[in-house]
Amino acid sequence: MEKRRTARLSRIRQALVDHKAVHLKEMAADLGVSEMTLRRDLGEVEEEVIVLGGYITSRYETPPYYVAEQSGQQMEEKRKIAQIAASFVREGDTVFLDCGTTTPFVADAIPDDMHFTAICNSLNVLLALQRKPECTVILCGGRLHRRNLVFENPAEVSVLQGLRISRAFLSAAGIDTFCGVTCFNTEEVPVKRQVLARAQKRFLLADHTKFDVVRPAHFADLSDFHTIITNRPLPEAYRSMIEDKGGEILI
């Protein structure tokens, strides 16, 4: 068993010499093991290699930050939420995929043969989108914040002003009936608000752990979204607030 694990890790290291990131699911299939087995293997060398947004990458290429720590949490829930979200993307759409650990799964779930334009401002989403051969990617570039993988640049707001968005998929770190929709980092707020102002359809992607939680940076209210996609039935207070404003909840 030890020899097989050593051989698998050697294959992964070689793959990372040729590519800065490799897809966890595809690597597991190539090696003939489950994703869980591969995650256990990688846990033995976590000082060297990490899993980020469904991709295996060198820690030296992508140092440890908050998003990396969170990417393994609620994986199945995030994947299910992302699959529902991706079902709304249509041929020719212009979509915005927010930063976070759920949105890379949305990119994964969009069919490879679909022609669409994607706008993003984070590294983990960019890594997922670059694997979609028919996708035109618009990156809001600038300085990379390592803790959340977000690119920040004052000019990215002006880039967004020239765009219109068919569907925007936003993430949140906290949702509360009084404090609204929040995130950890203030540098995320300007882009989120610009996107909300320019999107035809606005989706909030949040698993059950985000509700009744407040984070420092407020960027929206629940009424700003047409659709909330989550993984469990919501408490009555949230359901009433959303539905009374004409929104829908998908599980």
Class of domain 2-63: mainly alpha
Q: Is 120 helix (H, G, I), strand (E, B) or coil?
A: strand
* Lookup result for tokens 């256990």: 40
2-63 against 75-250: fold identical: no
Shortest CA distance to 181 belongs to which of 151, 145, 225, 148? 225
CATH annotation of 75-250:
3.40.50.1360
> What count of residues does the chain have?
251
Burial status of residue 148 (CB atoms within 10 A of its CB: 0-12, 13-18, 19 or more)? buried
Query: Where are the chain's structural domains?
Result: 2-63, 75-250
Tokens for 18, please give them: 């040729």
Predicted confidence at residue 41, as pLDDT, reads 87
Predicted confidence at residue 157, as pLDDT, reads 59
Question: Average pLDDT of each block of 10 consecutive residues along the chain (251 residues)?
Answer: 84 76 84 89 80 70 44 75 97 96 92 95 88 91 71 68 93 95 90 94 96 95 97 94 94 93
Predicted confidence at residue 47, as pLDDT, reads 72
Q: Is 85 helix (H, G, I), strand (E, B) or coil?
A: helix
